[in-house]
Amino acid sequence: MAILPLFQQSWQELYKITFTPLLPLLFLFSFLYVFKCIKSSGKPSLPPSPPKLPIIGNLHQLGSLPHRSFQALSKKYGPVMFFYFGHAPTLVVSSADMAREMMKTHDIVFSNRPKATATNSLLYGCTDIAFSSYGEYWRQVRKICVLELLSLKRVQSFQYTREEEVSILINKVRDLCLKGVSINLSELLIENSNNIVTRCVFGKKFGEVDGKGKSSELPRKVMVLLAAFFWEDFFPFLGWIDMLTGFKPSLKSTCGELDAFLDQVVEEHKTMKREDEHPNKKDFADILLQLQKNGMLDFELSHDNLKAILLDMFVGGSDTTSTTLEWVMAELIRNPSIMKRAQEEVRRVVGNKSKIDVNDINQMDYLKCILKESLRLHPPVPLSVPRETSESLKFGGYDIPPKTRVFVNVWAIQRDPKLWDRPEEFIPERFTNNPVDFIGQNFEFIPFGGGRRGCPGLTFGIAVVEYVLANLLCRFDWRLPSINAKGEDLDMTEVNAITAFRKNPLCLVPTLHSS
């Protein structure tokens, strides 16, 4: 037992000699370690991100078609990615599970819209529906548009407009059949969509309103500008470069053209007398003006607000419709056996009738499968209209800061091999007896978005597309201009805009079908 005190004494001496001089250094290292831990614990856990460069961030990783670039990056960095485009933090969601969490669990936080140069200029300070901030104004305006233009009842009331305009389209194609030449089907579809939408919204065809008597390129021009890269949005001090690129002058010119057009529309409706006993004959502009005049709104609707809403309905309704029809017809040309089966179904249902009606459309199950498959491969808006987080939140296990721009890569989700068998192939049969639909509840298939900011014009657009498509397939046979051309030779290149439309017009040769 005497050994223990000696051991303790030796240990104390050793401690004095060895450790005492190191105490300040040990204390310093301990302090630095604790400080590092505190700092690390306070740092947000952001989603995975590709390496970024000083100042520009991740801008160099965007290609000419962002939805394709994001898809390629998601294969390496996962379904939730974080980017910095200049000074703007951006989140990209590329899986159905994350889209579901975003649009169901955290829908309110993700329901705002970021302000941008193009949207502010074109849409009167973002006072439309698509780009307005989430809040009471947006709720009231959306409610009016859904009730007075986009509800099932109102869509059905516009059937006569669809029938008249599609009849004009069919007659034009029939006249061209006699010449045996190829036709620019893209141009005809754009004109047809513009006319249907403008008659429902403005009461007149576009050519009758602007006096030009021809289809306008305005909707597509607006869609391109809304998706254009403006330096001012990401580097405010470099906004002058937008003048050099030509985007700022183009934006100013387009805004002036739109403003003059909408002013004319509103002024004509104010001076025109409408028959109150025919409420279903009133167009959307009539209804808005009447609500404004009679003080029947719970909020103030200024002249600019009115124009922003009308522009939303016009541009959103016409361009997405014509773009969808272009892609459907392109896919059918590339897949002759599918087109043949679709034509057999349509012609069997219609029989010898001179006009296709809504009840006929409801019996065309394979036609509906074809439309769904085209929307899967070619969603009208492949990269969702950007959202913005209203506050910080935990999402997918990561910390997402407030004021973060958010994109859902619809195009990537709908081509995900984990969700779809042979995702790159056009297979309408995948939707036969399949409950998956595009109304925003099945997040593997969201061509019209989902949640509060989902597209309210779904019913209107689908009604137009189905009716036009059924008539084109029923009345005509279609082929490429060259008899020996093969379907796979058809150029399917797309252009980046809010809507991803075909780079080259779809030119086909129609032949009148003889029953």
Q: Which residues are annotated as a binding site for heme?
A: 455
What's the chain's Rg over C-alpha atoms?
29
Greatest distance between any 2 Cα atoms in the chain: 121
Please, what is the Cα angle at 285 between 149 and 263, to 5 degrees?
Answer: 140
By 3-state DSSP, what share of the chain in percent is helix, strand and coil, each rounded to 5?
A: 55, 10, 35
Q: Quote the tokens at residue 494.
A: 């797309």
Say if CB 339 and CB 332 are below 8 A apart: yes
Dist. CA 186–CA 506, nearest whole Å: 5
Dist. CA 360–CA 45, nearest whole Å: 55
Q: Is 153 exposed, middle or buried (0-12, 13-18, 19+ CB in 10 A)?
A: exposed
Angle between helices 159-177 and 185-201 (to 10 degrees): 160
DSSP 3-state of 450: coil
* Helix or strand holding residue 192 (H, E): helix 185-201
Total residue length of the chain: 515
Say if CB 209 and CB 261 are below 8 A apart: yes
Beta strands 405-408 and 476-479 are unpaired
Q: Which residues are annotated as a binding site?
A: 455
